[in-house]
Amino acid sequence: MKIGILSRKASLYSTARLKEAARQRGHEVRIVDYLRIYMNITSHKPIVMYGGETLDVDAIIPRIGASQTFYGTAVVRQFEMAGVYSANESQAIARSRDKLRCLQLLARAGIGLPVTSFAHSPKDIPRLIEIAGGAPLIIKLLEGTQGVGVVLADTDKAAESVIAAFRQLDTYILVQEFIAEAGGADIRAFVVDGKVVASMRRQGAAGEFRSNLHRGGSAESIRLTPEERSTAVRAAKVMGLKVSGVDMLRSNHGPLVMEVNSSPGLEGIERATGVDVAAAIIEYLEKKAEKGKTQDRIGY
């Protein structure tokens, strides 16, 4: 099988591991900078071009950066129009990248979430804080990634100041309850084709409420409870993602989903668990990749 990996850099750990796993299983692999792809959008023969030639692949693995979601999903969509199978489809990627839309869909499916409030007018700030249960509160930029744009407000007054400042910049935010019992830790469940293939617990550094590994956090392999495993699988299904990282908090009332990632990194989870996650993704493509086949049925 000819596999294209859509990635800005071949040297990135996840990209390199996917390439290695695919070649070990006998596939042809090409790493393509998706921002250099251009398209011929026609009714009967949509074409994907790169470096002056038509890209000829059987399947793609999108590794689309959050800041390039618009163009990246347009590229994935063009491949889909040309009958190329994508590990994650364009609609599913776009759906998961919109944090508000993601939470609304998860809530509709009855999946556990932190209490979350959202509004447009600064006049409604006190009500936002009240809905989320009062300080301490988590305030998140809708556009933020990897812990950037996430603030912990210890008092209602501090929360009001932070929310007002963000709104003056015409930036949309989510206000969420702070899950104190999580102790600065979260869970990453890596879901491939409806199964959790690896899971880890990430612990934030001392004095840091965010558990992101690049912020000094640590990670260890864990065994999920049946409820946590079911929640991760259901969350991925609601998003329509076949390859995803589902981030959850352990709360007093069960697992709460924070985010569903469409391009989850492999380095942290492979090193923490020893699981060959890259091989699991390639195996999934081997089983499911068929020309012209799509699987997104969510509709939102």
**Beta-sheet strand order (sheet of 195-203):** 218-221, 195-203, 185-192, 243-251, 254-261
Handedness of CA 192, 195, 198, 199 (dihedral sign): positive
Assess if residue 100 is contained within a domain: no
Q: Do 86 and 11 sit in the same domain of this protein?
A: yes
Q: Which residue has the higher pLDDT, 203 or 106?
A: 106
Amino acid type, 230: S
Residues 91 and 145 in one domain: no
Report residue 270 CA to chain centroid gap. Answer: 17
Q: What is the mean pLDDT of residues 206-217?
A: 57
Residue 103 lies in a domain: no
Nearest 5°: CA angle at 291, between 290 and 292? 110
Residue 203 pLDDT more than 70?
Answer: yes
- Which residues constitute the domain of residue 142? 116-178
Q: Tell me the percentage of the chain whose pLDDT exceeds 90.
A: 69
Any domain includes 205: yes
First to last CA, the chain: 31
Report yes or no on 286 lying in a domain: no
Do the domain assignments include residue 87? yes
Question: What pLDDT, on the 0 to 100 scale, is given for residue 205?
Answer: 65
What is the C-alpha to C-alpha distance for residues 138 and 97, in angstroms, rounded to an integer?
Answer: 19
pLDDT level of residue 16 (50, 70, 90 thresholds): very high
Q: What is the pLDDT of residues 164-198, one digit of tens each?
A: 888 888 788 889 999 988 888 999 999 999 999 99
Q: Which two tokens stand for residue 1?
A: 């099988």
Where residue 232 falls among pLDDT bands split at 50, 70, 90? Answer: very high
What CATH number is associated with residue 238?
3.30.470.20
Provide the CATH number for the domain around residue 138: 3.30.1490.20
pLDDT over 80 at 147, yes or no: no
Report helix angle 226-239 to 99-108, nearest 10: 120
Looking at the structure, tell me whether residues 198 and 249 fall in a common domain.
Answer: yes
Average of pLDDT values for 121-136? 88
> Into how many domains does the chain fold?
3
Spatial CA neighbour of 191 closest among 221, 234, 223 = 234
Cβ atoms of residues 188 and 231 within 8 Å: no
* Residues 134 and 66 both lie in one domain: no
Kindly state whether residues 76 and 6 are assigned to the same domain: yes
Q: How many CB atoms lie within 10 A of CB 52?
A: 6
- Give me the pLDDT at residue 167, please: 82
Span 234-243, average pLDDT: 97
16 Rama class: left (phi>0) / alpha (psi -120 to 50) / beta: alpha
* 106 within a domain of the structure (yes/no): no
